[in-house]
Amino acid sequence: MATKLTEFLTQRSTPEIAASLLGKQLCLQTPTGMLTAWITETEAYLGAKDAGAHAYQNHQTARNQALWQPAGTIYIYQMRALFLLNIVTQKAGVPECVLIRGIEPVEGLDQMQRQRPVQLANLTNGPGKLMQALGLDKTLNGQSLDDGPLSLDLQTSIRQPQLVERTARIGIVNKGEWSTAPLRYYVAGNPFVSHISRRRLDHEQHGWVPLV
């Protein structure tokens, strides 16, 4: 039986999912309390046809095995000293995913800052940074968002972006058309987005539709 998460992930294309994840709440249950955050920035990776993806030309290894698992599987990989969080978006055997690039802390901010002791403006505005703030490594790789301590709340999300910006992904070089493919999505004006001009920040609403 399909869960609400599976339906949310598989009933649209991966780019549409990447955009739809903005404003959804990422939740992590830890031994010392719950950490929650709004998703502010994502990138879509389109599997075998995508020269910027780990699954390009169906390249399958022990490292990226999670990509071939069902929608909602967590795919975490390490890049140098950093860990990066991805969510598998399509049915088993279709290795597409969304990279979570930025989150805005909601609950558990003190714990996040203890785990990544930097100023708030630099806490979670990047894929490696947010994993440090959440205290995550590769332990959850291959687990499902439906079963473990990390989950995606689709019910209580009340944040809607005023404007979703769409640009080329960051760090995808020498990959032909895939280097410039507009597969990065972010909440315009949100301070918890990577590579955003300080002059474009919305300091009052953080780019969200104001709550009534």
Can you give the CATH number for the domain in which 109 is found? 3.10.300.10
Average pLDDT over the chain, rounded to an integer: 95
Q: Is residue 1's pLDDT more than 70?
A: no
Which 8-state DSSP code applies to residue 7? H
Residue 27 lies in a domain: yes
Residue 48 lies in a domain: yes
pLDDT per position as a tens digit, 181-191: 999 999 999 99
Split at pLDDT 50, 70, 90, the class of 85 is: very high
State mean pLDDT over 1-19: 89
Residue 188 lies in a domain: yes
d(CA 184, CA 166): 6
Residue 208 lies in a domain: no
pLDDT per position as a tens digit, 57-74: 999 999 999 999 999 999
Residue 212 lies in a domain: no
State mean pLDDT over 28-53: 97
- What's the confidence (pLDDT) of residue 2? 65
Residue 205 lies in a domain: no
Give residue 175's domain range: 4-200
State mean pLDDT over 36-55: 98
- What's the confidence (pLDDT) of residue 3? 82
Residue 184 structure tokens = 């990065």
State mean pLDDT over 16-45: 97
Residue 165 lies in a domain: yes
Residue 138 lies in a domain: yes
User: Measured between alpha carbons, how far apart are the two ends of the chain, in Å?
Assistant: 36
Q: Is residue 212's pLDDT more than 80?
A: no
Inter-CA distances, 22 with 98, 165, 173, 193, Å: 11, 11, 25, 11
The structural domain count of the chain equals: 1
Angle at 49 between CA 46 and CA 52, to 5 degrees: 65
Q: Is residue 155's pLDDT more than 90?
A: no
Residues in the chain: 212
- What's the confidence (pLDDT) of residue 15? 98
